[in-house]
Structure 1
Amino acid sequence: MIIGLLSDAHGNLEAFEKARRVLDDFGAAEVYFLGDAVGYLPGADVATLIVDLGLPSVLGNHEAMLLDPACGRSDRDPVYRLAETAAAMPARVRRALQGWPDRRDLRRGCGRVVLVHGSPAERVWGYVYPDTDLTGFAGDPSLDGAFVFMGNTHRPFVKTVGATTFVNVGSCGLPRDVGHLGACCLLDDQTGEVRIIRFDIRAETAAALERCGPVHARVLESLGRREKGVIGELV
């Protein structure tokens, strides 16, 4: 069976919906969300859709800050727009977010599958980049032989260290490597094959920005990035 994984939609409903269509096209029978439905683009639409769809999810740092502003950087709310998002969020959706765990563990034919937002050590707040040294995580006996899926950095990669495969699934709504290419991930839960899929979200992001209204300049800068090289398969 093919499992689809998404992360870091950050209020970009239109890009999130395109990511779901991409996963459908590749035959994903289950979809998991790795956190940060909210933040940067104001509004609760993505979080509401995830809850209504019943997608199994893990808690992201932006959900954590929305639920408890004291735990994060409330001084950065002009960038994050979480207060505005919280005010627009239905109570039932907020209650659902409060129930999102910080880690999910699955057992599949390919072995153990671990889902977190940040890192195995800091499940909500950790940052794991393509150049992060993964040997410390690989030395954790609880991760030996596992497939570990993460988000948070908005930068996808797939790396195997020892018997453990580490995957950052990237961002479906606010990429930070090539700003117009959303990312999603596929796992064949029998063979262990992992694929990063990239897809153009320019039209979707333009529609999201028109719907949301003005956003912080940092968001626009991220969407305009054009780093050399694209990690993943372009569709």
Structure 2
Amino acid sequence: MKQALITDMHANREAFEAVLEHAGAQGATQYAFLGDYVGYGADPGWVIDRVREFVAQGAMAVMGNHDAAVVQGAGSGMREDARAAVEWTRSQLKPEQLDFLAKLPMHQQRDDRLYVHANAFDPGGWEYVLGRSEAVRSLHATRQRLTFCGHMHEPMLFHLSGTGKAGDFAPVAGVPIPLLSNRQWLAIPGSVGQPRDGNPAAAYAMLDLANAELTFHRVPYNIEGAAQRIREAGLPDRLAARLFEGE
């Protein structure tokens, strides 16, 4: 049984479609969506509707900070481009789509797994897991053995031993990583819709539940199409340009 871990689509239909196709070809039978379905991109309604379809079929979904901003209004700390995208998105969504975002939980648990957008220690504070110290803080905040987060737009994997020793891996796309049972793990799949690690390909991860393995994936997609949609929507051009740069 394989579960696709998908996060930070950011209204990028082209990237999300490519990832769903790839995950299906890889044998995904379950899906977990880790937030930020909207913001930056030009297809928020389409992305929300696809996630809603998966949730209706049993998939898990949690709220991200951009989802919350679209529901509640952009906060004062949001950057100008992000704020513009949030306000534009609010004007595009139907009431039932906004209602779906508003009712998303901050986190979900399943067996020994925790699914959350930002972190386990303060899900609604939206603090980033930037490195080992934040990862350890997050792992200390939960009894779950596996934690899956979004928010950081870069693939990351951290672990914590029973003796308190922390470590991290630099994931290599397509290479399965055994999730040893004597450790806690925190995985960040990276962003589908707006990667920021210098690689413009969409990022997601696949959890093999039967074999206790995690595989990170990168999926090329039609970046030009996504960028053109952003430009046509009248959103800031920088939001289109950064897709090509993976930043």
Q: TM-score, normalised by structure 1?
A: 0.84
Deviation at 1:130, TM superposition (A): 4.7
Say yes or no: does 1:18 pair with 2:13.
no
Number of the residue aligned with 1:232: none
Amino acid at match of 1:46: V
2:154, 2:106 → 1: CA distance? 20
| Residue 195 of structure 1 pairs with residue 215 of structure 2 | yes
Report SS of the residue matched to 2:29: strand
Which residue pairs with 1:209 in the alignment?
227
Q: Secondary structure at the match of 1:155?
A: coil
**Distance (whole Å) between structure 2 residues aligned to residue 207 and residue 42 of structure 1:** 11
Closer, same or farther: CA 183–82 of 1 in aligned 2, 3 Å: same
Q: Which amino acid aligns with 1:48?
A: D
Correspondence for 1:175 among 195, 199, 206: 195
66, 85, 90: which one pairs with 2:70?
A: 66
Structure 1: gaps of 5 or more residues: 228-235
Report matched runs for 1:46-195 at 5 Å. Answer: 46-54=47-55, 55-69=59-73, 71=75, 73=77, 76=80, 80-107=84-111, 112-124=112-124, 125-130=126-131, 132-140=133-141, 142-143=142-143, 146-162=145-161, 163-195=183-215
Tell me, what secondary structure is at the counterpart of 2:9?
Answer: coil
* Distance verdict in 2 for CA 1:169–1:62, change over 3 Å: same
Summarize deviations over 1:85-107 as a string: whole Å, max 9, x none. 11111111111111110001001
Residue aligned with 1:219, SS: helix
Partner secondary structure for residue 128 of structure 1: coil
Asked if the contact 1:130/1:156 (under 8 Å) is kept, the reply is: no
| Shift, 1:73, TM fit | 3.9
Count of residues paired in the alignment: 219
d(CA) in 2 for partners of 1:52, 1:139 = 34
For the aligned residue pairs, the C-alpha RMSD in angstroms reads 2.3
**Shift in Å at residue 179 of structure 1?**
4.0
Q: Deviations over 1:9-63 (max 9, x none)?
A: 1110111010011110110101111000100113422112211332421000000
Change (3 A) 1:74 1:29: same
Identical-pair percentage? 25
Cα distance, 1:79 vs structure 2:
5.1
Deviates more, 1:98-107 or 1:155-164: 155-164
Partner SS for 1:39: coil
For residue 230 of structure 1, what is the aligned residue in structure 2? Answer: none
Cα contact 1:77–1:83 (8 A) shared by 2: no
Alignment check: 8 A CA contact 2:18 2:220 kept: no
Which amino acid in the other structure matches residue 134 of structure 1?
A: A
SS of the residue corresponding to residue 245 of structure 2 reads coil
Q: Provide, for residues 115-173 of structure 1, a one-character-per-residue CA deviation record: whole Å limited to 9, x for no partner.
A: 00001112141211355543333333x335x1100011101112211121110010011
CA gap 1:183/1:84 in 2 versus in 1, 3 angstroms: same
Report the alpha carbon displacement of residue 69 of structure 1 after superposing the two structures with TM. 1.1
Letter of the 2:21 partner, please give it: R
Which residue identity is paired with 1:100? L
SS in 1 for 2:110: strand
Say which SS state the counterpart of residue 123 (structure 2) adopts.
Answer: coil
CA shift in 2, pair 1:209/1:189, >3 Å? same
TM, length-normalised to structure 2: 0.80
